[in-house]
Amino acid sequence: MAVRVRFAPSPTGALHIGGIRTALYNYLFARHYGGAFILRIEDTDQSRHVPGAEEYVIEALKWVGLIPDEGVGFGGDYGPYRQSERKAIYQQYARQLVERGKAYYAFDTLEELESIRQREAHFAYNHQTRKQLRNSLTMQPEEVEDLLQRGAPYVIRLLVEPEQDVRIQDLIRGEVAFQGSELDDKVLLKADGMPTYHLANIVDDYLMRITHVIRGEEWLSSTAHHVLLYRAFGWENAMPQFAHLPLILRPEGQGKLSKRDGARFGIPVFPLSWKGATPEDSFLGFREAGFLPQAVLNFLALLGWHPGGEQEVFSLEEMTRLFSLEHISKGGARFDYDKAKWFNQRYIMATDNAVLAQYIRPLAEAKGYRADQPYLEQVAALMKERVSLLPDFVEEGYYLFEPVRAYDDESIRKKWNPALQPVLEAIADLMPGIQPFDAPTLEAAVKALLQERQIKPGEVLPLLRLALVGTMKGPAVFDTAALLGPAETAERLRRGMAYFLQCHEMAAR
Ligand code: GLU
C-alpha cells in the first residue's frame, strides 16, 4: 500500500516552528517510501480562525521547500483539502454513526451543562452521566423526532462504553493503552453543524487514505477517541498507524517551548515573522532573523531524530535517504538556539557566493548600501566564514559598505608607534599605482616596501587592518583592501593615521 501522510495544521495563528518539524518528518517519511505528502487545513473551529494563518502555513512550507504533493493550493484527487469545504461530508458520517447506534443526539444546552460544571468540577459527559442528561438515549423516540423537526439545537456525541479499552502500538512510543471507562462521549458534530476536530480528522484520514499519522505528542490522548471512531465506523482495517513526536523543550530544558518563549529569550520560534493584532501576538521568524531554509530544516530534523553516528550536517536528500521513525526519540528535544546558528553558519559557508549575494541584496538596499551583484559576491566571499546570520554580512561587515564608524583604541595603543607614520603614508601613496589592484599584487607591493625599509610586516599589517576596518577582527587585510579599491584604501589609511596620532597623544597626556 502506498504511503500517504498528511500535515494538518489549524489556521489559528502563526504556525509554530514545531509545526514545521512535524511537516518535515511527514515529508521525509513520505519521500523515503516514495509516498505522498498532503497538506490539509483543519479550519472547522470558526471561533479560532485567524485571517492570514492559512497563507502563512503555505508560505512557510514553500520557504523551507517542503512542497506538498496534494493539498490546499497544490491540487490532488482527494480534495477539497480545506475542512470548512467538507461540512456536508462530516454531517453525513455523523448521522451514519447515529443510525448505527454508535453515536447519539444530545440536546443539553450550553447553560445546562455549564450549571452542572459549576456544581461538579470534574463533570464529564460519559457512560454514567449521560443517563441523567437530555439525549436520544434517555428520551422517547417521538420526543427526539419532535425536537429535531422543530429545529432544536443539538450536538452529536460518540457513544463510548466503559468496556471499550483501547491499545495502540505507537511507532515511536510503543504500546499505549487507554481505559474505556475513563473516556468521555466526545462531541462529533457541534450545534452549528460543524464537525469537531476528532470527527473531521478521522473522516478525512479515512477518505484521503492516510496510512500513517505523524503528529505532536499533544495529540496522543486524542488517539483513544480516534481509534474508537475507526471502530464505530467499521474502518479498523483501514486505520493508519500512529507516531507521536517528542515535545520540543525550552532552551533551558524545562517545559515545552511556547510561542511566548521567542520574546522571552529574544530568539525566533516561528518560521516567518508574523504580525498579529497586538505586539504580544507578533513574532520574529527564522527567515527574518537571517537563517537559510536548509539550515532550519537540518536543525529541526535533529530535534528528536538522529540516524546514528557523528554526522550532523545533512542535506534534505541525505535526510530523506536515512529517515526512519525508529530513530526518533521518545524524550523531549531541547531547542538550542546556538545550535541553530551553528547550522546556519555551516550552510552559509557552503553556499555559493552568487546565491549569498541575493540574500544580502535586500539587506544592503535597506541600509542604502551599494548592492550590485559583483560587489555583493565579493562581500559574500570575504565574510562568509565569519558570520552566522545573514544580516551579519551588512552589520558586522558594515565597513565593506561605509567608512569605519569606530576604532578599537586598545589595539591601537598596543600597535601604534609614531615612527610608523611615514611608512603608512608611503603605503597610502602606493595605492593609485598598483595594477591590477588585487590582493596578491597589493600584498607583494606592500611587502616590498616594508622590506626596503627593513620593517617587519607584523608591525604594520595590524595597523593597516585597524585603519581599514577599525578592529583586529575581520577578513584578510589585502582582500579587504582589494575590495575597497585604491582610492578608498588610501583614504582610510590617511583617516586611520590621523586617528592613531590623536589616540596616541591622548594616551601620552
Ligand atoms: N489540526 C491538528 C493540529 O492543529 C492536527 C493534529 C493531527 O495531526 O491530527 O495540529
pLDDT in tens, 339-368: 999 999 999 999 999 999 999 999 999 999
Comparing 4-82+247-339 with 409-508, is the CATH topology the same?
no
- Cβ atoms 103, 97 nearer than 8 A: yes
Q: For residues 290 and 498, what is the distance between their CA atoms, to the nearest angstrom?
A: 37
pLDDT at residue 86 above 80? yes
Which pLDDT belongs to residue 506? 81
The number of residues in the chain equals 509
Q: How far apart are CA 488 and CA 117, in angstroms?
A: 76
How many angstroms separate the CA atoms of 188 and 486, rounded? 75
Secondary element (H or E) of residue 113: helix 110-119
Higher pLDDT, 263 or 209: 209
Q: What whole-number distance in Å separates Cα of residue 502 and Cα of residue 421?
A: 12
State yes or no: pLDDT of 63 exceeds 90. yes
Protein residue whose Cα sits closest to atom 5 of ligand 1: 8
Each domain of the chain, given as residue ranges in start order, spans 4-82+247-339, 86-245, 351-400, 409-508
Burial class (CB in 10 A: 0-12, 13-18, 19+), 222: middle
Instruction: Answer yes or no: is pLDDT of 88 > 70.
Output: yes
**Half-sphere exposure for 167 (CA within 13 Å, toward CB):** 2
- Choosing from 7, 22, 197 the residue with most ligand 1 atoms within 8 A of its CB, the one to mutate for a pocket test is 197
Q: What pLDDT is attached to residue 252?
A: 84
Residue range 321-330, pLDDT digits in tens: 999 999 999 9
Superfamily of domain 86-245: Glutamyl-tRNA Synthetase; Domain 3 (3.90.800.10)
Residue type at position 357: A
How far away, in angstroms, is 492 Cα from ligand 1 center? 58
Selected from 3.90.1750.10, 3.40.109.10, 1.10.8.70, 2.60.40.1120, the CATH number assigned to the domain covering 351-400 reads: 1.10.8.70
Q: Determine the pLDDT at residue 260.
A: 86
pLDDT at 508 over 80: no
pLDDT at 259: 87
Q: How confident is the model at residue 507 (pLDDT cuts 50, 70, 90)?
A: confident
Write down the pTM of the prediction: 0.94
Strand order in the sheet with 155-158: 103-106, 155-158, 187-189
pLDDT at 169 > cutoff 90 = yes
Give pLDDT, residue 454: 95
User: pLDDT tens, 399-408?
Assistant: 999 999 999 9
H runs (alpha helix) in 290-336 = 293-301, 316-322
Give me the residues paired with residue 176 across strands: 168
Highest CATH level, class, for 4-82+247-339? alpha beta
Cβ proximity of 380 and 353 under 8 Å: yes
74 three-state secondary structure? coil
**Interval between CA 223 and ligand 1 midpoint (Å):** 11
Q: Indicate the Cα dihedral angle 386, 389, 393, 394, nearest 10°.
A: -140
435 burial via Cβ count (<10 Å: 0-12, 13-18, 19+): exposed
Task: Report which protein residue has its CA nearest ligand 1's atom 3.
Answer: 9
Instruction: Let me know if 259 is a catalytic residue.
Output: yes
**From 16, 27, 42, 244, mutation site for ligand 1 pocket: most ligand atoms within 8 A of C-beta:** 42
Instruction: Provide the pLDDT for residue 46.
Output: 85
Atom index in ligand 1 nearest the CA of residue 214 equals: 8
Average pLDDT over residues 311-326: 97
Architecture of the domain whose range is 409-508: Orthogonal Bundle (1.10)
**How far, in Å, from the CA of 216 to the mean position of ligand 1?**
8
Q: Look-up: residue for cell 517545559?
A: 255
- If you average pLDDT over residues 177-192, what whole number do you get? 96
Please name the residues in contact with 505: beta carbons below 8 A apart, sequence gap of 6 or more: none
Query: Residues with beta carbon inside 6 Å of ligand 1?
Result: 8-10, 42, 197, 201, 215, 219
Averaged pLDDT, 131-151: 97
Question: Ligand 1: which residue has its CA nearest to atom 2?
Answer: 9
Q: Cβ of 372: how many Cβ atoms within 10 Å?
A: 10
* 144: its cell numbers: 427526539
Average pLDDT over residues 31-46: 96
Task: Collapse the DSSP code of 330 into the 3-class scheme (helix H, G, I; strand E, B; otherwise coil) and give the result.
Answer: coil
Q: Which residue has the higher pLDDT, 71 or 255?
A: 71
Q: Is the pLDDT reported for residue 280 higher than 90?
A: no
The one catalytic residue in 259, 339, 367, 447 is 259
Residue 302 has a pLDDT of: 97
Query: Backbone phi, then psi, for 226, in 5-degree steps?
Result: -65, -40
Tell how far the Cα of 215 is from the centroid of ligand 1, in angstroms.
7
For residue range 92-133, what is the model confidence (pLDDT) as tens digits? 999 999 999 999 999 999 999 999 999 999 999 999 999 999
- State yes or no: pLDDT of 391 exceeds 80: yes
pLDDT of residue 253: 65
Residue 1 has pLDDT above 80, yes or no: no
Residue to mutate (ligand 1; options 44, 219, 239, 241; most atoms within 8 A of CB)? 219
Taken in order 266, 270, 275, 277, the sign of the CA dihedral is negative
CA of 201 to the centre of ligand 1 (A): 8
Which residue in this structure is represented by grid cell 439525549? 135
Q: Other CB atoms closer than 10 Å to residue 249's CB: what's the count?
A: 19
Residue-level pLDDT at 310: 95
Confidence of residue 263 (pLDDT cuts 50, 70, 90): confident
pLDDT digits (tens, 9 = 90+) for 443-489: 999 999 999 999 999 999 999 999 999 999 999 999 999 999 999 99
Average pLDDT along the chain: 96
- CA dist 451 and 448 (Å) reads 5
Q: What percent of the chain has pLDDT over 90?
A: 93
